[in-house]
Amino acid sequence: MTNLNTLFTPCQLGKITLENRVVMAPLTRSRAGEERMPNDLMKEYYRQRKSAGLIISEATVISRQACGWLHSPGIYSDEQMEAWKPITQALHETETPIFLQLWHCGRASHSSFQENNQLPVSASAVKLNEDYIHTPIGKQPYETPRPLETEEIPRIVEDYRLAAERAKNAGFDGVEIHSANGYLIDQFLQSKTNHRTDKYGGSIENRYRFLKEIVEAVLTVFPANQIGVKLSPNGNFNDMGSPEYRELFTYVAKQLNHYNLAYLHIVDGLEFGFHNLGEPMTLTEFRQVFDGVLMGNCGYTKKSAEAVIKAGNADLIAFGRPFISNPDLVERFANNWPLNPPADMKDWYSFDPEGYIDFPTYQEMKNG
């Protein structure tokens, strides 16, 4: 039987009905200032993109220790929680659901982001092999992170739970646990960065334990059908990629399948980088072990997104860069209108309104 779903048919996430299957992917845009405080500029940015079936917020740090990116927002203080409320309220006025992405950078950080200039933390003392990181004191070489002590890990799990609690109080419809792209949870999952000998290291089951504990902590705040998890099995971003990636991510998806999550978000496309350790993992593979809502991401066009949904290999497709320069991406797709040129990379993280909230809709261009 052919799947009659298209990008423009509704999709059910628990009790939430998405009006379409075009998801706004989490996009770090660095407009929250040094205090990591959501603001009116961000409110306008999200409001402009309200026609997405679901918006996943930019990655939002769960603690001071989690920081590793200039001017990204936080959710570790009550002031930040209050500052998110106008954003969620603006989207609820247009009935657009929004999930908050919970983020800990782990080794993809620098001592200048940390309290008392401590080293960033990770699963193990494995340095990120890239040229430099942008820090509060300019471009700096990556440092060898400090491995977390076993007894420190419950505190970080609790940071995720508290962040989820604040997200709920701020009016978010759910949360996405960022377990992808070489950040802290991914550093625990992958053998490349996890050389531990305690209960969080060694076997795949042990390396999954940290994510499992975080999911179960967040489950005390939100029901499972308001929690998503993001994985990047093919990615080399932040110097990742482990030889047993296929076995690892198949196992993780099978375990997550037990929870009846809102969705599993897979960075299956290779435009963000590929580790070249074998054949890329596909959504078809994840479909075989995960029964819930499956979201694809990275490099999709309208045509390729339609094809994967019609084939039944995904329920939702997340679009990132096209949403930067096309606030009305859904309308453009629905009407086959041309897209704006891609945003210049210098504007992605510029801290300014330019290249952020000044992209015209198709109708504005037509009428202008």
Q: Which residues belong to the active site?
A: 183
> Is the distance from CB of 261 to CB of 226 less than 8 angstroms?
no
The Cα-based distances of 242 to 90, 131, 190, 273 in angstroms read: 42, 20, 6, 14
Beta partners for 134?
Answer: 139
Structure tokens at 313: 């290999």
Burial class (CB in 10 A: 0-12, 13-18, 19+), 15: exposed
Which tokens belong to 234?
A: 């093919």
318: nearest Cα among 91, 46, 23:
23
Rounded to whole angstroms, the Cα distance separating 110 from 132 reads 10
Distance CA 97, CA 361 (A): 21
Query: Are 303 and 324 contacting, i.e. CB atoms less than 8 angstroms apart?
Result: no
